[in-house]
Amino acid sequence: MKPEISNPTMKDVAREAGVALGTVSKVVNGIPVGESYRIRVENAINKLGYQVNSYAQGLRADKTHTVVFLIPNTAEPFYASLTYHVNLVLLRQGYRMLLCCTDYDSDLEQEYIAMAQQNKVDGIIGLTYNPDLSVHKNTPFVSIDRCMGSGIPCVASDNFAGGQLAAEKLADFGCKNVAFLCKSSSISNEPNKRKAGFENGCLARGLHCEMKIVGDNEPYDTFEQFLADHAPSGKMSLDGIFCVTDGLAYFILKMLRRLGLDIPRDIQLIGYDGIRFFGDADYLCSTIVQPVPDIAELCVRLLLDKTIREKPSLLCLPVTYAYGGTTREDAPNSQLY
């Protein structure tokens, strides 16, 4: 069935859906309404082929319905997933996303922010490791994974709790001697709290814990040496590893296999992020899962919802543990499987 009305208006949508005009307006502008109302309005919009004239909307409201999204790249799986989910949330609410991959270039980042401000965008959502980034206070900004100072809320997974959970899981699965492996930026950021959480969890559960923190520009070989040093005669003295990201875990798994070790029999491993390749049902490794769709929703809500007056400086979303083949379900202390 093709739509019968040639240029349907919001009124036509309201009539078709059997709801008040204000309800249609709310749905179109992304303001929450009851689920059943939203569905009726969306069905009516689809049936009639109603098009929001967001350009005109922008002119009326001195808004462009455009949000800049700053991200180092979209090639790394966590960034790729974050970009995808933020994009879907924005588009669903009638906003456009200007994507700016920064490639970790601080000057480029600053340039994109200047561009955003010149173009009167409605706001910026950014994951940036630029400590000197300057954002005009009139431009709403929501930061992911790094606190950037007053007036800029930061959204992150609960990194401390995630580190703690990793320690608890390794303890549950029978580990005694564990290590935390990390590639770390010197710039203060939320993911750095994974270390403190893990230490805390190890202490609480009586695990012996070593730390191997490697600078951002140091090669992965440093980890390979660390692991080899712990397996001098082919026998590994560590029985559990927590990697700061699934990306690092990917490389550590390869190194452990090169040392002739069986995972999870000889050594168990937990990563962080919750990466799955190609929409696979299986995780890359046992992992602490970041709630990426929730992070995306929250960033957009904080940026665009004008009814939120007092914006918290840090908002942490809960993480979960997921089995991904690199931990032992049959471990003696395992209570959860």
List of residues contacting its own copies (CB under 8 A): 46, 51, 53-55, 66, 69, 73-77, 80-81, 83-84, 87-88, 91, 96-101, 103, 107-108, 111-112, 114-115, 118-120, 247, 250-251, 277-280
- Looking at beta carbons only, is 69 or 141 nearer to its own copies? 69
Beta carbon of residue 177, minimum distance to its own copies (angstroms, whole number): 27
Beta carbon of residue 235, minimum distance to its own copies (angstroms, whole number): 26
Beta carbon of residue 178, minimum distance to its own copies (angstroms, whole number): 23
Instruction: From 263, 299, 21, select the one nearest 157 (Cα to Cα).
Output: 299
- Looking at beta carbons only, is 55 or 337 nearer to its own copies? 55
Beta carbon of residue 333, minimum distance to its own copies (angstroms, whole number): 29
Instruction: From 173, 192, 191, 336, select the one nearest 267 (Cα to Cα).
Output: 173
Read off φ and ψ for residue 318, nearest 5 degrees.
-70, 145
- Looking at beta carbons only, is 96 or 311 nearer to its own copies? 96
Instruction: From 225, 120, 239, 143, select the one nearest 191 (Cα to Cα).
Output: 143
- Looking at beta carbons only, is 206 or 278 nearer to its own copies? 278
Token reading at 23: 């309800």
Beta carbon of residue 75, minimum distance to its own copies (angstroms, whole number): 5
Token reading at 97: 């996303």
CA distances from 217 to 76, 129, 161, 213, 236 (A): 17, 15, 27, 12, 27
- Looking at beta carbons only, is 76 or 294 nearer to its own copies? 76
- Are the C-beta atoms of 130 and 109 separated by less than 8 Å? yes
